[in-house]
Structure formats: structure tokens, C-alpha cells
Amino acid sequence: MYATFDLDRPGDLAAALAILRTKGAVALAGGTNLIVDMRAGRERPQRVVSLDKLGVLRGIRQARGQVTIGGRTTVTDLLLSPVIAKTAPALVESARQFAGQMVRNTATVAGNIACGSPAADLVPPLFALDARLTLVSARGRRTVPIESFFIGYKKDIRRPGELISRISWKAPSSRSCALFYKLARRKGDAITVVGVAVALDVERGRCRRARVALGAVAPTVFRAREAEAILEGQTLTPELIESAAEAAAAAARPIDDIRASAAYRRHGVHALVRRLIGQAWEKLA
Amino acid sequence: MPTVNLTVNGKAVSANVEARTLLVNLLREQLGLTGTHVGCDTSQCGACVVHVDGKSVKACTLLAVQANGSKVTTIEGLASGDKLHPMQEAFREHHGLQCGFCTPGMVMSAVCLAQNHPNLTEKDVREGLEGNLCRCTGYHNIVQAVLAGAQAMRR
Ligand SMILES: Cc1cc2nc3c(=O)[nH]c(=O)nc-3n(C[C@H](O)[C@H](O)[C@H](O)COP(=O)(O)OP(=O)(O)OC[C@H]3O[C@@H](n4cnc5c(N)ncnc54)[C@H](O)[C@@H]3O)c2cc1C
Ligand code: FES
Ligand code: FES
């Protein structure tokens, strides 16, 4: 058996935040990363604070053009929600490709963000939505763009005891298209080799806003801003799309590992950015 | 030691567990329900799948305490007396098992899948069983069994 710990299952958020202030305490959501890491001895928390009774952290709402989901919303919740289907199609696609049904039933959105993996599948679509994270602790709350949350491989700006309570984004206009593609060694239950999310907004025949977010090809998920700049303000042509794809591939900093070589990953970025931007533009044009 | 109260296969049970006790340990070691298997320690194989409040979950990835107050169904809870559940019957009929190690998890996942998809297709089955590994069958007969079992469940 793995190392013991003290376990709390608080019924309200304030109580949870108070316990999380204590040294060596960690939050437990779906457990699909944390329990696996604890069983393997990679994580040895002294105190585990289970969030499963905190209903306030779970749910999906849309009000005044703003979509807000609780951090404890599960991947299955995303797939069942008409609001998510309408406002975040790339997130739906990544939720569909996520693990298998049992893991989707328990794995949470905040857990996916907080695990800090560059291969976390829900994160590139959230970057493409310009999502904002609400962080709460016993000391107060703050809201940050998801892009500034990650500062290095498995490193983020959370202060001790801080939870991701909400994730929110502006519902996109009707003249927008968002897509996600997960390249992996097989379809089911596999870790992403290259994850690409793109979003385009079109106005009067021009690309008004472009987002290209890349997963698993750098220490963190990131936006290929050079690629976005090539597209924004333009009427897209195959040549422009090709140079955006080249810019995205150049911005990637992939590694060689057991799943793929760095060169293959870079090639994957190029091919997928070109394909997804092309598809999105075609849908809107 | 925390006490957990839950309903397992329709019966109310109460047990003292350690904080680190996983639901699968509680079921197998304390309640003697050894039909739920453990095939890995990385939450990947799906041999341990049970239903918690009607949803399929990996019992090796949930603390027993987190199931406090829940309704749990294990493979032992599917049959009624001597009469197998239609999904179990379909696995037998279609040779959906060889060594049988993965079978309890496969059947539990399949039942949940059938309940969520009124018109299950082969694609749904193959996608739906992505979290369940089988080292023997090559999956073909499992997929046939699940399709047949799902149809029988609708009758
Ligand atoms: C078989 C299997 C397949 C998988 N497949 C995929 C996949 O396809 N794609 C993918 O991206 N991931 C996958 N994963 C990884 C994992 O399921 C996800 O990262 C999941 O979203 C983690 O969420 P959780 O709720 O289980 O987090 P937990 O394991 O409970 O927690 C993970 C980390 O996040 C912290 N945390 C949890 N909630 C909060 C919060 N509200 N605020 C701050 N910190 C918090 C915890 O303290 C912990 O450090 C897979 C895992 C398994 C076991
Ligand atoms: S024992 Fe392998 S997934 Fe639970
Ligand atoms: S029948 Fe042997 S593992 Fe599936």
C-alpha cells in the first residue's frame, strides 16, 4: 500500500480553503492524476482535501454572453452540455478524445489545467477561447488569463492553497469557427503527441481574430502568436495559411520521447495548423 | 478511522476504512466482492470498473471515502439470482471472454454504455471501451457481445 495521509472532505468552500492553507495539503478532484501519482509514490501529500462535496465548484452557466464553468466540472459534464456544444466546439472535440468513458466521468477541468502537463487536452481549446481562470484562496480571489497561468514545465502561478474555482470565456460570435485535433499513437486512451486548437473570427471577408494554440510541443501549452499575426486582418489564401503553419512549426520547441521524435512533432504542427486553419476558413468563407 | 456508509448491490453496508483505502480494496478485501479485478496500478486497464451512482468509474482511482453515501453496483450485482444479466449472457453467447480477467470491467463498462446510447453502433462500442484492455480476445467478440447485449437490454 502507498503512504498514508489525513483526509478531509469539507462541505463548503471556505472550510476547504482554510485547510488548504496548511502545509503539505493538496486538493483532490477526480484523482485521475493525483491518486495514480500517490500510488506510485511520486506524490506523498500529508493531507488530502477532497473537493467532491463542493457542489459550488461544479456546473456550467451562460449569462450575458459569458460562459462560466466550475473547476470541478467533469469531462463528461462538458460532453453533455448544450452550452458547451454551442460556445466551445473545440473543447467538445478535445473532451471527446479525452481518455475513456470512466476517466471522463471523474476527471475535472481544473484538474486538467492544474496538472500542468503540456499534453493536457482541454488546455489548447481554452487558450483559443481566451479563457480566464478564477483563483481563490483563504486570502481572496483573482482572475487571470489562462495564458499567463503557466510559467514553465508543470509550473504555474498558483500560490499555496489556491484553487481554480472557475473557468470562463466570452461566447464566440456566430461568424467564428474553432477546431481541435489530437494527434496520438492510437485513437483511444493515449497521451497526445501534438494537440492543436485553432479559432477564427471572420468579419466582412477578413479574418478579424485568429488563435493558434499548441499542446505537447513545448514546456507548456502556448499560442503561436507569429502565426496568428500572419492571419489577422487578412483575407486568407493558401499561401498565407502555409506561412502561418510554417510560423507555428518554427515556434514549437518539441522534444524527442518514447511517443515521437521532435522532428515528427514539428512536422505534425505544420500539417495540422495548415489543415485546421484551412478547414475553419472554408467553413466561414 | 473513517466510517463509510454506502449501498452496494442494493444492500446498505458500513465499514471502517483508512483514508488511503481505495474503493476497489474496500469491495474486494473488506466486503469480499472479488469479482471486481485489479489489473494495473496506473488506472489504465479497466478491470476494476464499477458503477457509482449509475456512472462507470475505475474503482482503483477513487478513495473509499469518496464513495460515502453513494450507490455502488459491482459485477456481482448484475444477475438476478441464477438469471444472468443480458450483457453477461451476451458475453457467454458470443465468446466475449477467454481468460475472463478483463470481463467484469468490460461488462460493467458495456452496461453503462448501453444505458447511455439508445442505438449503440459498433463505433460507439469501440470508442466506449477505450478504457478497458483485454489481453486475450482481440476485442472482436467483445464488440459483438456488447452489441447483442445492448439489444437484449432494450427488450
Ligand atoms: C487512463 C487515463 C487516461 C487519461 N487520458 C487523458 C487524456 O486523454 N487527456 C488528458 O489531458 N489527460 C488525460 N489523463 C490525465 C487526467 O485524467 C487529466 O489530467 C484530468 O483532467 C485530471 O483531473 P482530475 O480531476 O482527475 O485531477 P486530480 O488527479 O484530482 O488532480 C490533479 C492535480 O490538480 C490539482 N487540482 C485538482 N483540482 C484543482 C482545483 N480546482 N484547483 C487547483 N488545483 C486542483 C490537484 O491538487 C492535483 O495536483 C488520463 C489519465 C488516466 C489515468
Ligand atoms: S485496476 Fe487497472 S484501471 Fe483500475
Ligand atoms: S479475456 Fe483475458 S484479458 Fe480479456
Q: Report ipTM (2 d.p.).
A: 0.95
The closest alpha carbon to A8, from A67, A52, A57, belongs to: A52
User: Strand ranges (DSSP E) for B2-53?
Assistant: 3-8, 11-16, 49-52
- Chain B residues within 8 A (CB-CB) of chain A? 2, 18-20, 22, 41-44, 46, 49, 55-58, 61-63, 65-66, 68, 109, 112-113, 126-132
- Give yes or no for residue A95 having a pLDDT over 90: yes
The pTM (predicted TM-score) of the whole model is: 0.97
Atom of ligand 2 nearest to the CA of B61: 4
Q: Which of B20, B57, B128 sits opposite A2 (nearest CB)?
A: B20
CATH 3.10.20.30 maps onto chain B at 3-76
pLDDT at B2: 87
> Does the domain formed by B86-154 have CATH 3.90.550.40?
no
- Give yes or no for residue A189 having a pLDDT over 90: no
Q: Which domains does chain A have, with CATH numbers?
A: 6-50 (3.30.43.10), 65-170 (3.30.465.10), 176-284 (3.30.390.50)
pLDDT at A141: 97
How many Å apart are CA A129 and CA A268, to the nearest integer?
Answer: 22
User: Which parts of A88-237 fold into alpha helices (H)?
Assistant: 89-96, 101-106, 109-114, 123-128, 225-231
Specify the CATH number of the domain B3-76. 3.10.20.30
pLDDT at A188: 79
The closest alpha carbon to A138, from A49, A31, A45, A46, belongs to: A49
pLDDT per residue as tens digits for the range A35-88: 999 999 999 999 999 999 999 999 999 999 999 999 999 999 999 999 999 999
- Give yes or no for residue A250 having a pLDDT over 90: yes
Neighbours of B35 (CB within 10 A): 18
Question: Taking CB atoms and a 6 Å cutoff, what residues make up the pocket around ligand 1?
Answer: A 26-34, 36, 71, 98-99, 103, 107-108, 110-112, 114-115, 120-121, 163-164, 189; B 43-44
CATH 1.10.150.120 maps onto chain B at 86-154
Mind listing the pLDDT tens digit of every residue in chain B (155 residues)?
889 999 999 999 999 999 999 999 999 999 999 999 999 999 999 999 999 999 999 999 999 999 999 999 999 999 999 999 999 999 999 999 999 999 999 999 999 999 999 899 999 999 999 999 999 999 999 999 999 999 999 98
Residues in chain A with CB shorter than 8 Å from the CB of B57 are 102, 105-106
Q: Which helix (DSSP H) or strand (DSSP E) does residue B91 occupy?
A: helix B86-93
